Amino acid sequence: MLNVDVLIIGGSAAGLVAAITAKSNNPDKSVMLVRKEEKVMIPCGIPYIFGTIGTSDKNILPDGGLKNLGVEIRIDEITDVDAEKKLAKTASGEEIAYDKLVFATGSSPVIPQWLKGTDLKNVFTILKDKNYLDSLYHAFEGLKKIVLVGAGFIGVEVADELNKKGFDVTVIEIMPRILGLAFDDEFAAPVGETLEARGVKVRTGVGIQEILGDAKVTGVQLDNGEKLDADAVILSLGYRPNTSLARNSGFSINEYGFIVTDQYKRTSKPDHFAVGDCSEKRDFLTGKLSRIMLASTACAEARVAGLNLFSLSTICTFRGTIGIYSTCIGETACGVAGLNEATAKSEGFDVVTASFTGVDTHPGCLDCSQKQTVKLIVSKKNGVILGGETLGGRSVGELTNVIGFAIQNGMTVNDLLVAQIGTHPLLTASPAGYPLIKAAEIAAKALKNA
């Protein structure tokens, strides 16, 4: 029997960061990370192995940080957890006694049970597994037409990358827009247009009814009666938390299927934590249960768990999940932090919104200049920033984080009006026309008149 102080189950972003935080803050404790995969995929990099990166071999989450700290890595699968005895069993027959345990078991692609044809050859998901992705990559060789079902971030990014590789790619999305959950229409629309201009066929407002074929995919039947030919189908319909181990071991699971956790990421059983996609999320602004799964959120949660394993620190609690996303199709990037307008309204916030479009350099005539738009979603009651959306060149990735910090710090429109920002001709919009601050100005006026 093995004996460790801390046992981490899962080796993707959450497990990695939990292990590093645990070990580096408790160097005298032994930390073991057990994962199924020999090599772990960088999760957000997966869409890019199909085109930009070109191979999964260059998209590996490095083990160096763990090894240098002295975290023991085991390639195995935990099949049983006895939370009372603090004893885990592995598929290879190992028994591991532990003091603290962290579930970081991640998430798996959703395959709708009602959908016919999901077991046909050349029907795939974007499973976060190197061997699977390699097999998928090779299965595409010689194929022409690929249909992606679901136009969230993963679907859109994979579609663009496969299109880049010369496939004939169609994206099917039941919502009226691609990226429709994350973005308000005016931000999703230009990304969709860019995607189409690059050659991806985008079919929104229509669902899939059935995957057609006999042993092998030949097409898809849409819910409007139409049929599309297809040599392969990729289902990118979201992910569900991997919680069967925790569920079977008697841990509380919430109504959305996540392992119940508190602010310190402690589960329903003492000394057992859960972080990342498998663990409960609550919205930062409403405190409501949330389904957001993000590697960046997972890492923040993993740090919280790692810092609070052996004694609680009141200052290192997780105050809830802020969705902060960005993506990039060609040279068009966009991002969102917090609530978009549609979500804010459906949550019951009375909001004003304000948008400003400027240019991301100053002057705006440089070869690298791109338009930049910022939209703010603001509480009408108190001017607090509930969310923001960005559209522009590649600098909007970090600009979205500026807005994320505004939200995390409870900044109001008035705070933004007098906020100081740094600007540079080649790197940012101008100080007099910085879209984030200009949007705040417009919001301030709207609040005054509201």
Q: How far is the CB of 61 from a copy of itself (least distance, A)?
A: 7
Give the nearest distance from C-beta 335 to a copy of itself in angstroms.
6
Position 399 contacts a copy of itself (CB under 8 A): yes
- Tell whether residue 418 is a contact of a copy of itself (CB under 8 A): yes
Q: List phi, psi (to 5°) of 396.
A: -70, -15
The footprint of a copy of itself on residues 29-58 (CB under 8 A) is 42, 44-45, 47-48, 52-53, 58
**Which pair of tokens denotes residue 232?**
């392969």
Residue 446 lies near a copy of itself (rule: CB under 8 A): no
**26 is a site residue for a copy of itself (CB under 8 A):** no
Residue 42 half-sphere exposure toward CB, CA atoms < 13 A: 15
Smallest distance from the beta carbon of 319 to a copy of itself, in angstroms? 8
Binders of a copy of itself among residues 335 to 394 (CB under 8 A) are 335, 337, 362-363, 365-366, 394
- Piece in contact with a copy of itself (CB under 8 A), picked from 13-21, 79-87, 117-125, 198-206: 13-21
Residue owning tokens 């569900």: 240
> Would you say the C-alpha torsion 267, 271, 276, 277 has a positive or negative sign?
negative
Using alpha carbons, select from 294, 270, 285, 279 the residue that is nearest to residue 242.
279
Say whether residue 445 binds a copy of itself (CB under 8 A): yes
Min. distance of Cβ 58 from a copy of itself in angstroms?
5
With CB under 8 A as the contact rule, the residue among 110, 295, 342, 384 that binds a copy of itself is 295
- Asked whether position 64 contacts a copy of itself by CB under 8 A, the answer is no
Q: How far is the CB of 16 from a copy of itself (least distance, A)?
A: 6
Closest distance of CB 226 from a copy of itself, Å: 33
- Of the candidate residues 33, 136, 148, 300, the single one contacting a copy of itself (CB under 8 A): 300
Residue closer to a copy of itself by CB (options 59, 125) is: 59
The stretch near a copy of itself (CB under 8 A) out of 18-26, 29-37, 164-172, 205-213 is: 18-26
Taking Cα atoms as reference points, which of 79, 58, 62, 82 lies closest to residue 71?
Answer: 62
Nearby residues of 107 by Cβ (< 8 Å), 6 or more positions away: 128, 239, 240, 241, 242, 277, 278, 293
| Residue 450 binds a copy of itself (CB under 8 A) | no
Tell me how far apart the alpha carbons of residues 335 and 391 are, in angstroms, rounded to a whole number.
Answer: 7
CA distances from 321 to 74, 213, 255, 283, 401 (A): 30, 41, 17, 5, 14
Confirm or reject binding of residue 102 to a copy of itself (CB under 8 A): no
- Residue 251 CA to its chain's centroid (Å): 25
* Residue 78 CB contacts under 8 Å (≥ 6 apart), including other chains: 9, 34, 88, 89, 90, 91, 96, 245
Peptide bond before residue 431 is cis, with ω within 30 degrees of 0: no
